[in-house]
Structure 1
């Protein structure tokens, strides 16, 4: 099953793949799927997030997703401080972002385009 389809199924029926519909469980699941794909599944994801949401390059993709999900709530940027409702919102938002990312990456030269935009973004930061 391709990752886009897998993540769509997981989002619709999380109980088949994890204990709950929390952001933390989703992150663990996604990281596990990425590890099972030699760490290549998420190649370009952090760079895409940085450009899309003008994030901080020092953050992990997990922190970038939280900042994008809760731009007005800095306390939610720390996973340990997420409320149950924020966990659910983060869960849904992560899978929405992954779907958008995989749509772009599946296009002809999609990954190259992601890294070209990222390179231009890095140059603007200097």
Structure 2
């Protein structure tokens, strides 16, 4: 399994692997995958996220919540299933961007 496959699974089928799909469970799956690979990509991702948020003392999992829900957002913002899904989607989107796995944007012709 590679990052592309993992992120697709986390975004679309997380509940199949961890029960109720929750942001903290998605984070745990991603962290476990990174540790098993032994490449340290999440450490680099942390630095990348800090460059996006200069001066922030937050870790990337908290910065994802800020990006999803606005300044001062934290885990208490995760109330509904939709909140968790949005946070997971933003996490996967940012990881894809960082890892260079984003699809090129195609301009629509008018």
Please, what TM-score do these two structures have when normalized by structure 1?
0.67
Mapping of 1:57-96 within 5 angstroms?
A: 58-72=57-71, 74=72, 77-84=73-80, 85-96=82-93
Q: Aligned residues, how many?
A: 100
SS at match of 1:10: helix
The 8 Å contact of residues 69 and 93 in structure 1, kept in 2 or not, is answered as yes
The 8 Å contact of residues 49 and 64 in structure 1, kept in 2 or not, is answered as yes
The separation in 1 between residues aligned to 2:46 and 2:64, in whole angstroms, is 9
Structure 2 spans left out of the alignment, 5+ residues: 102-110
The separation in 1 between residues aligned to 2:9 and 2:85, in whole angstroms, is 16
The 8 Å contact of residues 49 and 55 in structure 1, kept in 2 or not, is answered as no
The separation in 2 between residues aligned to 1:42 and 1:26, in whole angstroms, is 14
**RMSD of equivalent CA atoms:** 2.1
The structure 1 segments of at least 4 consecutive aligned residues displaced by more than 3 Å after TM superposition are: none
Aligned to 2:44: 44
Structure 1 spans left out of the alignment, 5+ residues: 105-126
Note if 1:102 corresponds to 2:81. no
The 8 Å contact of residues 66 and 74 in structure 2, kept in 1 or not, is answered as no
